[in-house]
């Protein structure tokens, strides 16, 4: 009996080149499956094989649950019954009982064989993945071996296969058995089947890998690809940077008469490719990315990671792009959320914002309009910036001396404290701003300074009204308003 298990493990391990531990694990699962057939009720069975002698032991397992949670006596045991055997045992522990072994010989040709074959296949797939792990994320060539409704099986050579899901094809692509193709190699976990090689032709890396083939300067790292944003089958933006100032990165990627960029586009089904120059300054990178749209102003909010972009009325549609494609791709390239508006609207919003900020300072600091505007022009647009400033900074503003500067700083601190107390409802009612899901104290203070002091007042705002009061995108404003209205629908 012992020798038979060891012989099977030796034979399969030698034939398939797999570790014996995988074979023993498969035999344990087969023996456990055969043992379960003894019982009409459900059961948890565990088999342990001694890899040296081939001896094995079989155990039945029960999980300890509370008396009221006991549902299946085949795999569970209540706490009081388990305590009778071991007083130190707790809920969640496992009771293990040794039972009679089934003979290996009777199941060798059936359950064991099936489980071993399955385990061998899984182990072989894992070995193939390990073999190709060094080239994951790179471009590979393959031949279509099988076509189904959901995916294609691609032969990579040397007995290796990969799955190309139809969701990872470029829209409109059709491949038949025997066709050759190029795609980016990836790894994915498939349920109950372990790691497996997969391919993608619609990922952004596909464009980068094709440019590496066509542009020697990229493969030689003279030109560096910094970012890629892709709408597969339609348009891609690729930001490049040169490490040699004598070389134009855009010209090198385009090639003589557009030969290089055209070769990449042809491989991608004539996808439109925009090559832009990378810049470490996000505002300049945005200008490069959105060209030729004429940008008149950019306002960055580093805390929220947003840019308010104003463009001329004539180029507004071009800046946004069809179905917002140009804005979406530029946002991915820069890594910032973009709010694109025309120049006239931006100017109107800025004036309204300045008036609201001035009103807030006048009311809370007891200053006149002239001093409020002077503070705003120097960058002190809210109570937070003034409260955290030093008197030395403020005295540089015309009309302020050290005494008045200290007074303004103290008034700003007092005003913020008062607002914070109003926001945090001492009576524990659910109408305060902090009860809105996702609200934080900084945003609540900002809203309170604009006259929005509780949940109901926020819920009654429109997206246009809220974006006019505070610096927030239309998407975020809509989401915040709906969260404030959530109690209306309960």
Same structural domain, 386 and 445: yes
* 403-433 per-position pLDDT tens digit: 777 887 787 777 777 777 666 654 445 557 7
Q: Does a structural domain hold residue 128? A: no
Q: Is 455 helix (H, G, I), strand (E, B) or coil?
A: helix
Same structural domain, 385 and 461: yes
> Which pairs with CB-CB distance under 8 Å and at least 24 residues apart come from 172-178?
172/233, 172/269, 173/201, 173/269, 175/144, 175/147, 176/144, 176/147, 177/144, 177/145, 177/146, 177/147, 178/143, 178/144
11: buried, middle or exposed (CB in 10 Å: 19+, 13-18, 0-12)? exposed
* Total domains in the fold of the chain: 4
Same structural domain, 335 and 416: no
Which one of 345, 360, 394 terminates a domain? 345
Same structural domain, 333 and 406: no
What pLDDT sits at residue 299?
Answer: 81
What pLDDT sits at residue 226?
Answer: 94
Q: Does a structural domain hold residue 482? A: yes
Same structural domain, 339 and 244: yes
Q: Residue 7 and residue 116: Cα distance in Å, rounded? A: 14
Are 356 and 363 in contact, with CB atoms under 8 Å apart? no
What pLDDT sits at residue 107?
Answer: 55
Structure letter (DSSP) for residue 433: G
Q: Is 439 helix (H, G, I), strand (E, B) or coil?
A: coil
Q: Does a structural domain hold residue 369? A: no
Q: β-strands 272-277, 76-78: how paired?
A: unpaired
Which one of 181, 202, 223 terminates a domain? 202
Q: β-strands 139-147, 151-157: how paired?
A: antiparallel
Same structural domain, 42 and 82: yes
Q: Does a structural domain hold residue 441? A: yes
Same structural domain, 331 and 406: no
Same structural domain, 264 and 286: yes
In the sheet with 272-277, reading across from the earlier edge strand, the strands are 223-231, 235-242, 272-277
Beta-carbon contacts of residue 419 (< 8 Å; ≥ 6 apart): 383, 445, 448, 449
* b/e 106-138 (16+ beta carbons within 10 angstroms → b): ebbeebbeebbeebbebbebeebbeebeeeeee
Give the domain CATH number at 194.
2.40.50.140
* b/e 165-184 (16+ beta carbons within 10 angstroms → b): eeebbbeeeebeeeeebebb
Task: Give the tokens for residue 324.
Answer: 């917002």
What pLDDT sits at residue 483?
Answer: 86
Same structural domain, 180 and 235: no
Are 311 and 320 in contact, with CB atoms under 8 Å apart? no
Give the domain CATH number at 42.
3.30.1480.10
Q: Is 86 helix (H, G, I), strand (E, B) or coil?
A: coil
Give the domain CATH number at 277.
3.30.300.20
Enclosing H/E stretch for 360 = helix 343-365
Mean pLDDT by 10 residues, the chain (490 residues): 69 72 80 82 86 85 81 80 76 84 64 66 73 83 91 85 90 91 82 74 93 92 93 92 90 92 92 93 90 82 81 84 89 89 73 73 76 76 76 73 78 75 54 74 75 82 80 82 82
Q: Does a structural domain hold residue 357? A: no
Q: Does a structural domain hold residue 207? A: no
Q: Residue 64 and residue 313: Cα distance in Å, rounded? A: 71
Q: Is the pTM of this model over 0.85?
A: no
Q: Does a structural domain hold residue 153? A: yes
Spatial CA neighbour of 232 closest among 184, 269, 258: 269
Same structural domain, 145 and 168: yes
Q: Does a structural domain hold residue 359? A: no
Same structural domain, 98 and 9: yes
Same structural domain, 220 and 327: yes
* 280-297 per-position pLDDT tens digit: 999 999 999 987 788 888
Task: Give the tokens for residue 312.
Answer: 């001329």
Which residue range forms the structural domain that includes residue 36? Answer: 2-118
**CA 348 to chain centroid:** 36
Give the domain CATH number at 404.
1.10.150.20
Beta-carbon contacts of residue 157 (< 8 Å; ≥ 6 apart): 142
Which one of 296, 322, 345 terminates a domain? 345
Q: Residue 365 and residue 148: Cα distance in Å, rounded? A: 71
């Amino acid at each position: 009996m012992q020798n038979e298990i060891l012989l099977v493990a030796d034979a399969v391990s030698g034939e398939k080149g797999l570790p014996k531990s995988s074979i023993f694990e498969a035999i344990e699962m087969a023996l456990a499956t055969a043992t379960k057939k003894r019982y009409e009720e459900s059961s948890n069975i565990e088999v342990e094989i001694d890899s040296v002698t081939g001896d094995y032991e079989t155990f039945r397992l029960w999980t300890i649950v509370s008396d009221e949670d006991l549902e299946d006596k085949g795999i569970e045991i209540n706490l009081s019954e388990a305590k009778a055997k071991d007083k130190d045992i707790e809920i969640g522990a496992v009771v293990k009982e040794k039972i009679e072994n089934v003979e290996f010989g009777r199941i060798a040709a059936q359950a064991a064989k099936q489980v071993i074959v399955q385990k061998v296949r899984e182990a072989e797939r894992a070995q193939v993945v390990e073999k190709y792990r060094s080239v994951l994320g790179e471009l590979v060539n393959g031949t279509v071996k099988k076509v189904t409704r959901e995916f294609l099986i691609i032969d990579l050579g040397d007995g290796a296969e990969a799955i190309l899901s139809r969701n990872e094809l470029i829209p409109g692509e059709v491949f038949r058995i025997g066709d050759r193709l190029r795609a980016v190699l990836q790894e994915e976990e498939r349920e109950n089947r372990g790691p497996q090689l997969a391919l993608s032709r619609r990922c952004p890396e596909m464009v980068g890998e094709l440019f590496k083939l066509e542009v020697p300067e990229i493969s030689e790292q003279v030109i560096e690809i910094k970012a890629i944003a892709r709408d597969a089958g339609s348009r891609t933006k690729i930001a490049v940077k040169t490490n040699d100032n004598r070389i134009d990165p855009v010209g090198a990627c385009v090639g003589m008469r557009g030969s290089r960029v055209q070769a990449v586009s042809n491989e991608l089904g004539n996808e439109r490719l925009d090559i832009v120059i990378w810049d470490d300054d996000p505002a300049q990178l945005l200008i490069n990315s959105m060209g030729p749209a004429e940008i008149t102003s950019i306002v960055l909010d580093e805390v929220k990671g947003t840019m308010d972009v104003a463009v001329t009325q004539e180029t507004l549609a071009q800046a946004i792009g069809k179905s917002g494609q140009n804005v979406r791709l530029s946002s991915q390239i820069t890594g910032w959320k973009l709010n694109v508006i025309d120049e006239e609207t931006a100017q109107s919003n800025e004036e309204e914002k300045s008036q609201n900020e001035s009103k807030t300072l006048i009311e809370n600091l007891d200053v006149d309009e002239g001093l409020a505007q002077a503070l705003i022009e120097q960058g002190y647009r809210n109570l937070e910036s003034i409260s955290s400033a030093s008197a030395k900074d403020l005295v540089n503003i015309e009309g302020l001396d050290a005494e008045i500067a200290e007074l303004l700083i103290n008034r700003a601190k007092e005003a913020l404290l008062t607002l914070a107390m109003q926001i945090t409802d001492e009576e524990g009612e659910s109408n305060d701003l902090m009860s809105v899901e996702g609200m934080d104290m900084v945003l609540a203070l900002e809203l309170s300074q604009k006259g929005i002091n509780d949940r109901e007042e926020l819920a009654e705002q429109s997206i246009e009204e809220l974006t006019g009061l505070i610096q927030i995108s239309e998407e975020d404003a809509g989401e915040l308003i709906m969260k404030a209205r959530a109690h209306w629908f309960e």
